Structure 1
Amino acid sequence: MSARCVMVLGTTSGAGKSWLTTALCRHYARMGLKVAPFKAQNMSNNARVVAPSLHRSRGSQPPEAADFPGGGPAESHWAGGEIGSAQYFQALAARAEPDVRMNPLLLKPEADTRSQVVLMGQVDEALSRMPWRGRSLRVWPQVAAALDALREENDVVVIEGAGSPAEINLHASDIVNMRVALHAQARCLLVTDIDRGGAFAHLYGTWALLPPEERALIHGFVLNKFRGDASLLVPAPQQLRELTGVPTVAVLPMWWQHGLPEEDGVFDDRTRASGSVHTTIAVIAYPRISNLDEFQPLKNVPGVRLLWARTPADCAGADWIVLPGSKATAADLAWLRSQGLDRAIAAHAARGAPVLGVCGGLQMLGEALIDTHGIDGNAPGLGLLPLVTQFDPQKTVRRTQSRFGDLAGAWAALSRVEATGYEIHHGQTLPHAAMAAAGDVAQGALPDGLGWCNAQGNVLGVYLHGLFEDPRVLHALFGATAPTLDTVFDGLADFLAQHVEPGLLDQLIAP
């Protein structure tokens, strides 16, 4: 078998490639086809843990998204590799087993000029030190091999590009846009965000900068995030077709509440559900925040409002404060202090109000970060939990299922609740020996050093990402459920089918 390949390109980052790719995955899966997503290279600090390489035989029962309450299989400790969150969700939308081949290269920014390189799910220190242009030549054979393997096993591969395919300064070293499209002879859609303005110039300019053999692969333009009267678009789509020969095949209305987790940006407060708010949750938005997509289920709970906190004023009136994951814990902790957020968090905790730290956030809540290997940096912690984190070169990457112990105070609702999630972190966190000897001991909220709580019961730190993706946790905390991922994926596919030119989606995979 050699799969038909459909590719989603964008005029810019944030144009809508990821959600459109996800919608296409679910659309073709609902046709009974065997579907896989693919993105050659993703740059994101939002990552998921998947199997290093799984092969599902044709005709075997595909997994449902409901089978992954926290984001993956539920073995107690399930080791694997990392891929970008967008490809993880696209795999679930395709009813496929998430696999490192679906995102063979993942770049995780650690600073403005440095990224950790993850190749086929594993950190590659040599590639991380290599200049970009040399790196792209080095990894292309593995990228191509991953795509070829997926094509052999599936009927359809839905490919996502990155940024813009017309970045002429990067075109010669491209391994994620048109080089992939040519390799797969993919039928491409080019999507643009019309809400930003300049959409037709973006579409035409992108098309015009491509060489003829690459232009020939573009089968349709897509206008995304449109607001207003569609008749006002006339005569631009027709003029654009006369200039390029490419039809505008869809005008997708603005849709704030589709429910798909964000990948490349913070969530927008306009997406919160209407109605009365009973819980406001402030998530500290440090510069190197990671895994922000795991908070999407909270946005979908009626009466819960999420907001990003970058100043103490943003925390005022919040019921919870959450310290999320970080790709640069010590640097983000320094930023947090420079904003005065350390004092705001301490005052919030002193009132007995709930504070939650996830992964890097857990590490920040302790007394100290100790780095003898040059992994992240040494730093004093916030001192809200009597813990010390020792960074280690070995990176923990695994799926985990665990159960909370008996908790008191603000987090008592989590007592004895089972939770499935994933770990991606350097180092381990343990009680501060001198403080423990003096009687100041953190309570083990989760076994095996996965979670700790203070004596008062209002400051909780966990290494378990994906906590709120587990319906058992949501129900325990709020007595509510959020829409399932399957519901979200079906909604995306329905929305796309409603607004695309009739027959186009079939034409894209026709022989």
Structure 2
Amino acid sequence: MRGALLIAGTTSDAGKSVVVAGICRMLARRGVRVAPFKAQNMSNNSVVTLDGGEIGRAQALQARACGLEPSVRFNPVLLKPGSDRRSQLVVRGKAVGTVGARDYFTRRQELREVVAAELSSLRAEFDVVICEGAGSPAEINLRATDLANMGLARTADIPVLVVGDIDRGGVLAHLFGTVAVLEPEDQQLISGFIINKFRGDVSLLQPGLDQLTALTGRPTLGVLPFAEDLWLDAEDSLGTISGATVGRPSPPHGTDWLTVAAIRLPRISNSTDIEALACEPGVSVRWADSPHQITTADLVVIPGSKSTISDLEWLRANGLGEAIRARAAAGRPILGICGGYQMLGTRIVDGVEHSAAQTLTAFADTPPHTAAGLGILDLDIEFANPKIARQVHGTAASIPVHGYEIHHGRVTRTADPAWLTIDGTPEGSAREAIWGTHVHGLLESDEFRRTWLAEVATRAARPGFTPAPDTSVTATRTTQLDLLADLIETHLDLPALESLINQGAPTTLPTIATALLDPRQP
């Protein structure tokens, strides 16, 4: 087997990432040398590679599905939104500035060359490259700057399968419309469809699929069932809905449950940090965005943020800031991670994130914005360039820990005891029932997480909560990747999939006439 395939979607969160991961895992299990690729991603959920680069979390998961270490090659362009109009631009793993839509348009050729070079290198090294699109190829207003959908497919002559989420409704119209709005040359590469998250009897759906084939001339290669056990490593912020439960809570190992409220910040970053808690039996994690949702929780987690001061102002405006301060005064457990850690301090001086979000030039020379933190930890933060992006290893009370850091904020003063030791240096804060750290992924260190949760339970007066002795986040992730591969093997037309990878898009695909969509036509 040798070639490439691009998985596009009718919408964001349609299932592109998991389908790519599943195909990669299925091929890797069969001995195929396969690699993932997403030319351009827009996400604040990212990880750090071994060489200190930054890529989207979904591509890190896809790399693991292939049996590979995450690499900047798999996601050469990453956009991290800091406001509704500005995003930090990360190229080949390194932050190079901030851009708006018009800036991005002027840089399209430079970025296109980066993408083409990385994809060409991967195709030369691996048997198969499975590419993931971004958003939807039907965003025709963005076609001129498209790097990840039909722009990539056309440049590299890659066949495309379009995934639609039937759980949202209207999937047949979404699939037809996605093809129909494309220009004829783009349509020629759309080779088929995949239905995702189906519940019920497939035979009832079949007449619709037959009509879709008749209308478009393209087959549906498979219908993937809804799988409740697939939830780890969620990339899209659409999954962080206030009040929603994270994962599937299993019964406690002891007699008490431990409840966790994770603050759903507007510019939340690395929301996946809390997923390790949701892997634990007897731990129920929910997203929260109002004071009443955190009052009864045993633990409140403030995750990272791509716009720390802006999200801190939101906390105060919503009454959450005062509710968090009241928890701290009462000695009730709170954890702050990265931006959430910074918010717990005394003062934040930001001349990077806030300035870049407000101005029209990358890292403009504007006065730093200073804000008072929540004052729960005795800690001052100052933002500076370059961004810190590194994998880290260390200890917490002699227990090994690991994770990664992605932040501009530096601790310039602290009077609180350190929580961790990272590479021989004190890191984070731990004072009574308040903890904070810049380290993402820390809670995936299984022994550390169990020990810390036992302390949280004690401080939350949950004596009947006992951490399970054998929970492994890595093993849970591996199980979910194998489940994805099983679904692909069982429900997709694998000979058709292999044919597309080896031979490219069929030459006989019809074009859907644009007249069908023109109300002026009789």
TM-score by length of 1: 0.86
Instruction: Please report the RMSD computed on the Cα atoms of aligned residues, expressed in angstroms.
Output: 2.0
Check the 8 A contact 1:51/1:100 in 2, yes or no: no
Shift of 1:180: 1.0
Letter in 2 for 1:365: L
Q: Structure 2 matches for 1:259-408, cutoff 5 A?
A: 259-265=231-237, 266-267=239-240, 268-269=244-245, 271-275=247-251, 278-371=257-350, 374=355, 377-404=369-396
Corresponding residue for residue 196 of structure 1 = 168
Check the 8 A contact 1:442/1:453 in 2, yes or no: yes
Check the 8 A contact 1:259/1:300 in 2, yes or no: no
Structure 1 residues 126, 381: CA separation in 2 closer, same or farther (over 3 Å shift)? closer
CA deviation digits over 1:175-204, x for unaligned, max 9?
Answer: 110121123322321110111111111111
In structure 1, runs of 5+ residues without a counterpart are 53-79, 405-414, 433-440
**Aligned to 2:107, what secondary structure does the other structure show?**
helix
Shift of 1:417: 1.6
The answer to whether structure 1 residue 445 and structure 2 residue 419 are counterparts is yes
Shift of 1:458: 0.8
Which residue of the other structure, out of 418, 441, 451, is the alignment partner of 1:466? 441
Distance in 2 between residues matched to 1:508 and 1:491, nearest whole Å: 23
CA deviation digits over 1:61-93, x for unaligned, max 9?
Answer: xxxxxxxxxxxxxxxxxxx11111111111111
Distance in 2 between residues matched to 1:372 and 1:91, nearest whole Å: 35
Check the 8 A contact 2:87/2:99 in 1, yes or no: no
Check the 8 A contact 1:194/1:224 in 2, yes or no: yes
Check the 8 A contact 1:443/1:453 in 2, yes or no: yes
Shift of 1:216: 2.6
Greater mean deviation of Cα atoms: 341-350 or 360-369: 341-350
Check the 8 A contact 1:189/1:219 in 2, yes or no: yes
Corresponding residue for residue 493 of structure 1 = 485
Structure 1 residues 195, 386: CA separation in 2 closer, same or farther (over 3 Å shift)? same
Greater mean deviation of Cα atoms: 122-131 or 90-99: 122-131
Which residue of the other structure, out of 110, 113, 138, is the alignment partner of 1:141? 113
Structure 1 residues 126, 235: CA separation in 2 closer, same or farther (over 3 Å shift)? closer
Shift of 1:253: 1.6
**Aligned to 1:318, what secondary structure does the other structure show?**
coil
Distance in 2 between residues matched to 1:245 and 1:85, nearest whole Å: 35
Check the 8 A contact 1:394/1:427 in 2, yes or no: no
The answer to whether structure 1 residue 43 and structure 2 residue 42 are counterparts is yes
Structure 1 residues 211, 450: CA separation in 2 closer, same or farther (over 3 Å shift)? same
Structure 1 residues 127, 431: CA separation in 2 closer, same or farther (over 3 Å shift)? closer
Which residue of the other structure, out of 413, 434, 444, is the alignment partner of 1:431? 413
Distance in 2 between residues matched to 1:270 and 1:327, nearest whole Å: 21
Letter in 1 for 2:229: Q
Distance in 2 between residues matched to 1:226 and 1:45, nearest whole Å: 28
Check the 8 A contact 1:9/1:189 in 2, yes or no: yes
Letter in 2 for 1:225: K
Corresponding residue for residue 404 of structure 2 = 422
Letter in 2 for 1:391: F
**Aligned to 1:509, what secondary structure does the other structure show?**
helix
Q: Structure 2 matches for 1:250-265, cutoff 5 A?
A: 250-265=222-237
In structure 2, runs of 5+ residues without a counterpart are 357-367, 454-466, 504-522
Distance in 2 between residues matched to 1:396 and 1:177, nearest whole Å: 31
Identity of aligned residues (%): 45
**Aligned to 1:96, what secondary structure does the other structure show?**
coil
Check the 8 A contact 1:47/1:291 in 2, yes or no: yes
Structure 1 residues 372, 499: CA separation in 2 closer, same or farther (over 3 Å shift)? closer
TM-score by length of 2: 0.85
